[in-house]
Structure 1
Amino acid sequence: MKLATLQNGQRDGRLAVVNRTLTQAVWAPAPYLTLQLALDDWQQASPILTALSQQLEAGALASFAFASEACLAPLPRAYQWADGSAYVNHVELVRRARGATMPDTFWTDPLMYQGGSDDLLGPRAPIVCPQVDYGIDFEAELAVITDDVPMTCPPADAASHIKLIMLVNDVSLRNLIPPELAKGFGFFQSKPASAFSPVAVTPDELGEAWQDCKVHLPLYVHWNGQQVCQANAGVDMVFNFAQLIAHVAKTRRLGAGSIIGSGTVSNTDRRQGYACIAEQRALEMIEYGAPRTPYLQYGDTVQIEMCDARGQSIFGRIEQVVQPLGQ
């Protein structure tokens, strides 16, 4: 099942069920007018929405043309957005470039930060930044949406709480990060609004690509039309999504509609490219002693997409342009 939130003049949009080829859609029925309402009652909502999805695929329903341009984020605002760093190779590389060692615990205890969840961007929303010298960077990731998760939920149980999967562009302002981290209180100004794929999908939509709570498919990133990443999201993911959820739930409950991110997808095989500019700059720092690749500039475009084995887009494409404030 594939779900999207379409613009309807309301802040939280209107929930729609989308077909597998992302060409047709039908409205979700009352009372499930938004994705959050469906997640709040997922045990009852899921069979109803699944039945609609099956009828839509069979051509048994009157439907309308689906357009990614009309999409908000699947959850335009969420009760929680927590982003991990499951690809430890990425962390190690960035730290090594600045001469910092990495604690051994990073391989056994996930990194996690809590992002802003009140303003989650749709797939075509621009990346707006007041100053280009903040060091604007894309970060291509995956994320899951949970139902209610109890405190101390172990990884073995956390898998059953994963209800939907989507793509993320977790934008970072790299030049604001060092002074924030120096304060010892983590990211804030350096993490503006993140953008999400047009649709969120249930794990069964991924078929055999969904194994061990990981998505074993390449993630494609294009920067100004040039492909810079084809890293496989299932390779080198040290902590799977069940482990990330269990980490967040160690001391708190998660409410239905919580979003948990994977962190920047990264492969140790450098031929697979980079899912964020900081990683490429780290490699350049190690090899040349200084970075050569600039961060995003105004007017730059970023595209993030994942396709199945037949080349069909699974989540739709994130397509963003970098703009100054007020444009």
Structure 2
Amino acid sequence: MKLATIQEGNWPVAAVMVGDELLVLSGDHGDPQLAGFPSTVIGLLHDGPETMQRLADAIARLGNDKARLATLRAAGALRPYDEDLLLAPIPIPGTMFAAGLNYLDHLEEMGSPIPKEAYVFHKSVASITGPRSAIARPVGHTGMVDWEAELAVVIGVECHRVSEADALSYVAGYMVANDVSARDWLDPVFQNPGIMEPIVNWDRNMMGKSFPTFCPLGPVLVTADEIPDPQVLPISSRVNGSVMQESNTRLMIFSVAQIIAHLSRWYVLRPGDVILTGTPAGVGVGRTPRIFLQGGDVVEVEIQGLGRVVNSVQ
């Protein structure tokens, strides 16, 4: 399935793709087979795999039933797919993590050593924005705003201390992400002026990834059954149509399964939690000369099978 979130009045509501249309799960459909589902994507996930399977079965039964489809259109429940109307599939997850330094070619462009285990940090859930929303460069930090094409993983079943072998069984699905970053504090880290200064500057570097609008997600949540192997996905980014990153998730140093197993050593991962999995080479700060996002730019991140997010820059 492909799950989406749209704005309905003052509230984000869940929708599921039916062919090239969106079936909204809130309100009265007049269709008893589609009644009783939670009205948000995170609600569906918290309800558990049984609810997700029941929804998938209901959509499969809907199929090409022209009479039912016509009734749903007339009720306003089945609508044309329009990415401009989409919010992030999970607008406010419980927790969002991000893996850094997870592609060898990105380590090379940044001059960083290969980590011995996955390096993962928190990214503010308040940074999440929609797949077509504008990225706002923060006042005082407009000069070094950068892009990072990333695969986002969504947890579907609560887990703690899981093995690498079992980790993917806890995944609900996958999304496209842009881990936008303000690089203002990065250079002092590599200048290494002492002990505490690099720690403080590295912490600020991480906080520079958490400004509002600094995490476009979407366009939809593609459930894990449609992506049997997350380690074979072409991933790319473009700025104003020019290719900046072009890689494949098979080049991750630590796989999706390894990252989940690593995080679960400490954290209880819950349905709807989001994990970004790192970016390949081609970010602006790693180029010579450096390139950063300017007002009026358009940045795109695309992953095969998942779609793309396209965001203008303010």
Q: Tell me if the contact between 1:217 and 1:306 (Cα under 8 Å) persists in the aligned partners.
A: yes
**2:172 aligned with 1:163:** yes
Q: Give the letter aligned to residue 294 of structure 2.
A: Q
> How do 1:125-136 and structure 2 match up within 5 A?
125-129=133-137, 130-131=139-140, 133-136=142-145
Q: How far apart are the structure 2 equivalents of 1:303 and 1:75?
A: 19
**2:48 aligned with 1:48:** no
Name the counterpart of 2:5. 5
Name the counterpart of 1:204. 225
Name the counterpart of 2:215. 194
**Aligned-residue offset at 1:256:** 1.2
Q: 197, 200, 204: which is aligned to 1:183? A: 200
Q: Tell me if the contact between 2:133 and 2:311 (Cα under 8 Å) persists in the aligned partners.
A: yes
Name the counterpart of 2:246. 230
Change (3 A) 1:304 1:25: same
Return 5+ residue gaps in structure 2 as ranges.
Answer: 26-34, 70-77, 190-197
Q: How far apart are the structure 2 equivalents of 1:294 and 1:59?
A: 51
Name the counterpart of 2:274. 259
Q: Give the letter aligned to residue 302 of structure 1.
A: V
Structure 2 length normalisation: TM-score? 0.82
Segments ≥4 residues shifted beyond 6 Å: none
Deviations 1:3-22 (A, max 9, x none): 000111335x11001146xx
Name the counterpart of 2:259. 244
Q: How far apart are the structure 1 equivalents of 2:8 and 2:91?
A: 12
Measured on the aligned residues, the alpha-carbon RMSD in Å equals: 2.3
Return 5+ residue gaps in structure 1 as ranges.
Answer: 267-273, 282-290, 308-313
Name the counterpart of 1:270. none
Corresponding residue SS for 1:299: coil
> Structure 1 vs Structure 2: percent identity of aligned residues?
26
Name the counterpart of 2:32. none
Q: 275, 284, 304: which is aligned to 1:277? A: 284
Change (3 A) 1:179 1:19: farther
Deviations 1:122-157 (A, max 9, x none): 001111012464401111100111123332111112
**Aligned-residue offset at 1:76:** 0.4
Change (3 A) 1:226 1:301: same
Change (3 A) 1:132 1:153: same
**Aligned-residue offset at 1:229:** 2.9
Q: Give the letter aligned to residue 38 of structure 1.
A: L
Q: Tell me if the contact between 1:73 and 1:195 (Cα under 8 Å) persists in the aligned partners.
A: yes
Name the counterpart of 1:321. 312
Q: Give the letter aligned to residue 89 of structure 2.
A: P
Q: Give the letter aligned to residue 320 of structure 1.
A: N
Aligned residues: 283
Q: Tell me if the contact between 1:17 and 1:49 (Cα under 8 Å) persists in the aligned partners.
A: no
**Aligned-residue offset at 1:184:** 6.3
Deviations 1:149-208 (A, max 9, x none): 3321111121100111000011000123445854166211343230112101012223xx
Change (3 A) 1:7 1:173: same
Q: How far apart are the structure 2 equivalents of 1:219 and 1:52?
A: 32
Q: 112, 137, 141: which is aligned to 2:120? A: 112
Q: Give the letter aligned to residue 166 of structure 2.
A: D
